[in-house]
């Protein structure tokens, strides 16, 4: 697959596509958990890049302080 500029969208477009705030997307880019390119002072993200959520939601760490 080609890595042309046509495969990228702005942070605002990506955020709207995934139902997130642009600031949340920028935070993920700054942390390095969302790959993006800075072209001409604007961050661009691949259109088909999934928005992943790395939080633990299984309850695995619930009451972990009480286990000591």
Domain spans, the chain = 1-50
Token pair for residue 2?
Answer: 């080609």
The dihedral through the CA atoms of 39, 32, 26, 36 has a sign that is positive
What is the pairing mode between strands 42-46 and 37-39? antiparallel
What gap in Å lies between CA 61 and CA 33, rounded to an integer?
Answer: 22
Helix (H) or strand (E) holding 45, with range, is: strand 42-46
Span 5-28, mean pLDDT? 95
Percent of the chain residues topping a pLDDT of 70: 94
SS3 62: coil
DSSP 17: H
The pLDDT assigned to 65 comes to 86
Q: What is the pLDDT of residues 20-51, one digit of tens each?
A: 999 999 999 999 999 999 999 999 999 999 99
**What's 1-50's CATH class?**
mainly alpha
């Amino acid at each position: 697959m080609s890595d042309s500029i046509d495969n990228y969208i702005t942070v605002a477009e990506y955020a709207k596509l995934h139902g997130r705030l642009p600031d949340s997307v920028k935070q993920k880019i700054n942390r390095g958990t969302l790959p993006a390119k800075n072209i001409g002072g604007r961050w661009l993200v691949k259109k088909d890049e999934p928005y992943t959520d790395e939080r633990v939601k299984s309850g695995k760490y619930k009451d972990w302080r009480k286990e000591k």
